[in-house]
Amino acid sequence: MKKLIGAIICIASLVTVSQADCVYGAKDKTSFQVLDGNTLMLKGGYGSNIIIKTYSYFYSSSNVQVLKDSFCSYDSAVLYIDGEVVDAQQVTRI
Give the tens place of pLDDT for each residue, 54-93: 999 999 999 999 999 999 999 999 999 999 999 999 999 9
Q: Which domain holds residue 33?
A: 21-93
Residue 89 lies in a domain: yes
Per the structure, the count of domains in the chain is 1
Q: Is residue 15 part of a domain?
A: no
Q: Which pLDDT does position 18 carry in this prediction?
A: 45
- Domain assignment present for 14: no
Q: Are strands 84-86 and 50-53 parallel, antiparallel or unpaired?
A: unpaired
**Residue 10 within a domain:** no
pLDDT digits (tens, 9 = 90+) for 3-60: 545 445 545 544 444 456 999 999 999 999 999 999 999 999 888 999 999 999 999 9
State the pTM of this model. 0.76
Is 27 among the domain residues? Answer: yes
Residue 9 domain flag: no
